[in-house]
């Protein structure tokens, strides 16, 4: 086998090893066997909600394990074909098998995506918060643009979006807003979007048409279900009620139905105003707080492995994860992975998969390297 092909095979095998480790292969196989057994139980659908969760988890694990096993089979088949072709002097067989390996390497990033969505809460629904940075109307309008971008992305992937809270800007945009994205692996896809997003454009609010730089932050955390236990002492929390505000219609109320809960030990604050009932808003806010505390625990584990600073940071220069330039040229660039595109309108309309896939791959590689260094 030629050196070039040996290098390709080695690269593919390293990727397979990384994916196996990230999936916690033996544990994932055992869990899939358990889920397959549960799926055959006649009493499974006695509890439809639990059954749906089990079937969703089963489908996700089966797809992730299947993707790795398929990659292993195709790689080994191509290697065997090369060996057979070389032994029998069939140059065309060797050439075809080598091309298969080259194609496998080219498709590797796409094949890895499903397996990358294997974190503890990756299969869960997700909360996504957007907060405008300093800069008044400019940043508030940018925050609304980001909210629209993520809503479009979710809709394109068959995910549903529910507005949880919105604090409207004085002239345009939003000061802050929270949505819940519901659907398979919503958190797994969105989790790398946390951070500061920077916009450069000609201001539509400036009569002199000057170029402006605006910042807004995005914060993503998973919805926690009944299978995840998060203890929250009510004595550690401050609960405030206030009159809802927003874009109008069902989001406006004439009573103090909106609820904000602040967890005093951590300073985490959540708010909900999408229901007319204070009781329902309070229940949703408690759910959001449990989710934020769970996300904080996940981040602590990740930081312990990667020894990095938290993603959340000041909303300003030096902390952005992605830059969106509309003037004087067109460019969206992720500052973590280097992925960039000049099709800015497509990105703002929700075309985010390339950025998400690269960030997921980078995170998994970083986690695996950090764990290896510790070992």
- Residue 132: its pLDDT value, please? 93
For the chain, the first-to-last Cα distance in angstroms comes to 33
Reading phi first (left if > 0) and then psi (alpha if -120 to 50, else beta), residue 249 is in left
Q: What is the pTM of this model?
A: 0.67
Tell me which residue of 186, 175, 166, 173 sits closest to 272, measured CA to CA.
166
- Residue 233: its pLDDT value, please? 85
- Residue 373: its pLDDT value, please? 45
- Residue whose structure tokens are 């405008």: 132
The CATH 1.20.58.410 portion of the chain extends over 3-116
If one counts every other C-beta atom within 10 angstroms of the C-beta of residue 23, the result is 19
Please report which helix (H) or strand (E) contains residue 295, including its range. helix 278-306
Question: DSSP assignment, residue 250?
Answer: G
Fold of 3-116: Methane Monooxygenase Hydroxylase; Chain G, domain 1 (1.20.58)
Torsion over CA: 295, 299, 300, 305 (sign):
positive
Q: How far apart are CA 321 and CA 359, in angstroms?
A: 10
User: Into which CATH architecture does domain 126-369 fall?
Assistant: 2-Layer Sandwich (3.30)
Mean pLDDT in runs of 10 for the chain (375 residues)? 88 86 86 92 87 84 87 93 91 92 82 68 89 88 96 96 91 92 91 93 83 92 73 88 64 68 91 86 89 82 50 56 94 95 97 92 60 41
- Residue 124: its pLDDT value, please? 86
């Amino acid at each position: 086998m030629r050196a070039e092909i040996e290098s390709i095979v080695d690269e593919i095998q390293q990727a397979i090893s990384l994916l196996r480790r990230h999936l916690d292969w033996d544990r994932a196989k055992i869990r899939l066997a358990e889920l397959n057994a549960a799926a055959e139980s006649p009493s499974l659908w006695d509890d439809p909600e639990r059954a749906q969760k089990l079937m969703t988890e089963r489908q996700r694990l089966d797809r992730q394990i299947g993707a790795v096993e398929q990659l292993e089979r195709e790689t080994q088949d191509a290697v065997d074909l090369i060996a057979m072709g070389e032994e029998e002097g069939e140059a065309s067989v060797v050439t075809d098998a080598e091309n298969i390996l080259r194609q496998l390497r080219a498709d590797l990033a796409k094949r890895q995506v499903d397996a990358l969505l294997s974190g503890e809460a990756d299969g869960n629904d997700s909360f996504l918060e957007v907060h405008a940075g300093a800069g008044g109307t400019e940043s508030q309008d940018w925050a609304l643009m980001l909210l629209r971008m993520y809503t479009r992305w979710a809709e394109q992937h068959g995910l549903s979006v529910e507005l949880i809270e919105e604090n409207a800007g004085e002239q345009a945009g939003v000061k802050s807003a929270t949505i819940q994205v519901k659907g398979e692996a919503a958190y797994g896809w969105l989790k790398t979007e946390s951070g500061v997003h920077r916009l450069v454009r000609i201001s539509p609010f400036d009569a002199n048409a000057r170029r402006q730089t605006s910042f807004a932050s995005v914060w993503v955390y998973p919805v926690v279900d009944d299978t995840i236990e998060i203890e929250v002492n009510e004595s550690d929390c401050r609960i405030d009620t206030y009159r809802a505000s927003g874009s109008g219609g069902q989001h406006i109320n004439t009573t103090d139905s909106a609820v904000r809960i602040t967890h005093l030990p951590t300073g985490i604050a959540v708010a909900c105003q999408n229901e007319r009932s204070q009781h329902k808003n309070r229940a949703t806010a408690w759910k959001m707080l449990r989710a934020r505390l769970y996300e904080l625990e996940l981040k602590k584990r990740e930081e312990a492995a990667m020894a990095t600073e938290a993603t959340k940071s000041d909303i300003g220069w030096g902390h952005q994860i992605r830059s969106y330039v509309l003037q004087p040229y067109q460019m969206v660039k992720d500052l973590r992975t280097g992925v960039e595109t000049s099709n800015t309108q497509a990105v703002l309309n929700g075309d985010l998969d390339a950025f998400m896939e690269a960030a997921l791959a980078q995170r998994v590689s970083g986690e695996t390297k950090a764990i290896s260094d510790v070992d």
